């Protein structure tokens, strides 16, 4: 009969893959909301493109996985129970925000979950503050860049096509959105699936299955597939909030959002910086809305999104802390 530690490892791997699946349908809106809202793509086509390219993006790199796996907490404080509680905290918070249609950050959720679980297990002293500062700085700066680029793209396009017929411009950008939606889906895979890769690899290292922090091929394949399946399941609640209620989008707006957001995410992923796809996309939409006028943004929706952003790390940390405190007496540390 398998020992308790092995059973915990299996539970961690399962939970991490469930997190990837939930991340997929939770964050589907990031890749396809703009193309669906501007009618550049049908829902079915958009989801198919997003699922396939999420898989491809997830297989492209492991730089973000290494940052998540080694840069948040002291490796000596990692146990199977810590990882399991951290992942469960992130999953629960993702499900809560999905239910209410809030585009919160899965990146923030998994970071908050790991922080809460480690604090419950070993205390604040085992957090890697230098690594956390780098990660949090990236998560703060990326929406700023997303807003700026979304605004800049729109200003450039409005000036460049100021003398063109609106119908022709819209038709051209609607076709181009197929390309930017694909870019957005690929970048989402490079950024988000790697978080679960880092978690599983961390658990394997703790168990002793591997000796160095290198993501095994089977882990990459499993996480990429879970993300793709979750994406295929859709996420209409958040698609509606991001693509329809926040800012009313035309094809040129949707193209600008996808182009700016995917550029920021891909560059950050190249350097192993775990950006929030949700934050970057939503901030790009904000930048596009601001290029029109202040009243083009639904500030009530913006306020709800901001609240979700601010709450995610502490809320998922609290959930993970409670999860660890509840389960550890029964499952061990």
pLDDT at 1 (0 to 100): 45
261 found inside a domain: yes
Q: Which residues of the chain have pLDDT under 70?
A: 1-2, 26-31, 101-103, 234-248, 295-298, 301, 305, 332-333
Relative orientation angle of helices 106-122 and 166-207, to the nearest 10 degrees? 20
How far is the C-alpha of 211 from the C-alpha of 161, rounded, in Å?
Answer: 57
Going by C-alpha positions, the residue among 191, 180, 198 that lies closest to residue 269 is 191
pLDDT at 152 (0 to 100): 92
54 found inside a domain: yes
228 found inside a domain: yes
User: Distances in Å between the alpha carbon of 237 and those of 47, 60, 165, 211, 297?
Assistant: 14, 29, 34, 42, 19
How far is the C-alpha of 87 from the C-alpha of 316, rounded, in Å?
Answer: 9
CB atoms within 10 A of CB 330: 7
How far is the C-alpha of 41 from the C-alpha of 174, rounded, in Å?
Answer: 8
pLDDT at 7 (0 to 100): 85
pTM of the model: 0.79
The whole domain housing 221 covers 4-326
pLDDT at 324 (0 to 100): 92
67 found inside a domain: yes
333 found inside a domain: no
68 found inside a domain: yes
How far is the C-alpha of 115 from the C-alpha of 128, rounded, in Å?
Answer: 10
Tokens 């809320």, located at residue: 315
User: Distances in Å between the alpha carbon of 267 and those of 44, 84, 114, 146?
Assistant: 29, 30, 25, 12
CB atoms within 10 A of CB 159: 8
How far is the C-alpha of 266 from the C-alpha of 277, rounded, in Å?
Answer: 10
132 found inside a domain: yes
332 found inside a domain: no
pLDDT at 321 (0 to 100): 94
pLDDT in tens, 254-290: 888 889 989 998 988 888 787 887 778 888 888 888 8
pLDDT in tens, 70-80: 777 777 778 88
- Give the chain's domain count: 1
């Amino acid at each position: 009969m398998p020992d308790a530690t092995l059973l915990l490892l299996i539970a961690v791997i399962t939970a991490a893959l469930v997190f990837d699946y939930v991340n997929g349908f939770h964050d589907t809106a990031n890749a396809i909301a703009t193309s669906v809202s501007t009618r550049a793509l049908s829902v079915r086509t958009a989801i198919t493109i997003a699922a396939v390219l999420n898989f491809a993006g997830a297989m492209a790199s492991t730089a973000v996985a290494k940052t998540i796996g080694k840069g948040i907490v002291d490796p000596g404080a990692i146990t199977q129970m810590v990882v399991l509680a951290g992942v469960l905290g992130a999953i629960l918070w993702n499900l809560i925000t999905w239910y209410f249609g809030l585009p919160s950050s899965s990146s923030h959720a998994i970071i908050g979950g790991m922080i809460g679980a480690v604090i419950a297990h070993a205390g604040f002293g085992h957090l890697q503050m230098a690594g956390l500062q780098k990660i949090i700085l990236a998560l703060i700066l990326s929406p700023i860049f997303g807003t700026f680029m979304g605004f800049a793209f729109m200003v450039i396009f409005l000036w460049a096509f100021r003398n063109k017929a609106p119908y022709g411009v819209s038709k051209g950008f609607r076709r181009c959105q197929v390309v930017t939606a694909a870019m957005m889906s690929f970048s989402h895979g490079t950024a988000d699936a790697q978080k679960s890769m880092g978690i599983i690899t961390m658990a394997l290292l703790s168990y002793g299955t591997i000796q160095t922090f290198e993501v095994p091929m089977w882990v990459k394949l499993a996480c990429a597939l879970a993300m793709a399946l979750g994406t295929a399941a859709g996420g209409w609640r958040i698609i509606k909030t991001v693509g329809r209620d926040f800012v009313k989008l035309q094809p040129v707006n949707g193209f600008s959002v996808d182009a700016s957001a995917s550029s920021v995410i891909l560059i950050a992923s190249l350097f192993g910086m775990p950006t929030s796809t949700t934050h970057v996309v939503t901030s790009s939409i904000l930048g596009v809305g601001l290029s029109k006028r202040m009243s083009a943004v639904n500030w009530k929706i913006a306020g709800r999104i901001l609240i979700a952003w601010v709450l995610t790390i502490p809320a998922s940390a609290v959930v993970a802390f409670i999860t660890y405190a509840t389960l550890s007496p029964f499952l061990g540390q």
